[in-house]
Amino acid sequence: MEKDVVLNPYRFRIQSVDLLRGIVMIIMALDHVRLFMGATAFSPVDPTQTSVELFFTRWITHFCAPSFVFLAGTSAFLYARNTGCDLKTLSKFLITRGLWIILVEIFILNLVVQFIPYQFVFLQVLWIIGWSMIILGGLIYLPKSVILTFSLVLVFGHNVLDYLFPEAQGWLYSLLHKQQAFIIKPIPVFVHYPLLPWPGVMALGYLFGRLLIRPSPNRNWPIWTIGSACVVLFLILRGINIYGDPVPWETQERGTVYSLLSFLNTSKYPPSLLFLLMTLGPGLLIIPWLEKWQGRKVKMISIFGRVPFFFYLLHFFIIHLVAIVWSQWQFGTSNWWLGPSSGFPAGYELSLPLVFGVWLVVVALCYPLCLWYANYKRTHKEQWWLSYL
């Protein structure tokens, strides 16, 4: 690494990173419980059909993926600082870990989510995290100014593709910029998370690590300034309603409240510029505030942030099992969770109280296992494979 990093090869954890990531993981679990326990025939953020409660149950989870990918870049920088490794070692770690995460997405997570392997291949957030790590593994050799330029071009410019190629099809365009399905015979592949502009988000997080290690008085104002600029720019661009999201907001016949929901309903797949400004801005603003949090609850939440990959795999498995048990109890069968199905049975309807209740149960079940694994990692640092899970 560069001199200012190599000279500081001590291990430390930044509380705000673990805490924010822990909050993000817990909120993320809410949306995944909703998908299993409260699926709807319409988008929960569609202002023409949704309710205010359902909208914000989904909308609050929009903050998860951008924050997680951004902080993954920050964690890469902190990993290098803590270990004192050089650029070559860091690059090798990022590339190999990225490849491992992609393999986990395809061969493990798809099984955990479906319980039937290769019914289809679902490319989700781990897919773009893995590729973003691989790309970051090459970017770190470049000057910081080049990394910053590359990242900002991706984040601010990728929506130009919506205007240049509005009807584009094909597997390559799907992998890069359009949520759609294609077939690699004989397996259907659904690209839930296209790649762009996620490598830029992770690279920005990597650069942010340099700011985060400064003493508090020298870092808080720049962080607040960047976060505030993101929020203000979101409000301006969304108000102008010309660029930054492929779907402009519209005044709703249902009233002012639903017009506001339309204003907040930005595109996630792929994440538009406005989606990223709307989510990363507030996330940055609360980082200095999180540094001041203390107490037992803070330590408990931070546990999830210390083992995010482990929690991610674990919570999907537990949610799926809970859905099977609940379906068996309520309907006498759970076949739609164990193989191909034409849909949910009659009576399987959205219940937000059920969603929130199961969410709390899932988080509670995950905590002791995450605590055990976090302690195991802390006491077995010499085991290299722990850095990959």
Helix, strand, or coil here: 181?
A: strand
Q: What mean pLDDT do residues 28-47 have?
A: 87
Phi, psi dihedral angles at 343 (to 5 degrees): 140, 180
pLDDT score for 185: 74
Q: What is the pLDDT of residues 170-219, one digit of tens each?
A: 888 889 988 888 887 777 888 999 999 999 999 999 999 999 888 877 88
User: Coil, helix or strand for 99?
Assistant: helix
Answer whether 19's CB lies under 8 Å from 302's CB: yes
**Higher per-residue confidence, 108 vs 168:** 108
What whole-number distance in Å separates Cα of residue 121 and Cα of residue 106? 7
- Is the bond preceding 270 in cis, omega lying within 30 degrees of 0? yes
Neighbours of 136 (CB within 10 A): 25
Cα 62 to the center of its chain, rounded Å: 8
Nearest-angstrom CA–CA distance, 221 and 219: 6
Give the span between the Cα atoms of 52 and 264, in whole angstroms. Answer: 12
pLDDT at 327: 81
Bridge partners, 182 (sequence order): 189
* Domain boundaries defined on the chain: 3-388
Amino acid (1-letter code) at residue 287: I
pLDDT in tens, 297-346: 888 999 999 999 999 999 998 998 888 888 888 777 777 676 555 566 66
Task: Identify the pLDDT of residue 202.
Answer: 98
Residue 8 has pLDDT above 50, yes or no: no
User: Measured between alpha carbons, how far is 191 from 183 in angstroms, rounded to an integer?
Assistant: 11
Contact in structure between 322 and 114 (CB atoms under 8 Å): no
Mean pLDDT, rounded, of the chain: 87
- Per-residue pLDDT tens over the stretch 87-135: 999 999 999 999 999 999 988 888 877 766 567 788 999 999 999 999 9
Residue range 208-222, pLDDT digits in tens:
999 988 887 788 899
Spatial distance between the Cα atoms of 216 and 288, rounded to a whole number of angstroms: 8
Residue 285's nearest CA partner among 208, 225, 215, 205 is 225
The β-bridge partners of 251 are none
Q: Which residue carries 């779907």 as its tokens?
A: 247
Q: Which residue has the tokens 């986990």?
A: 104
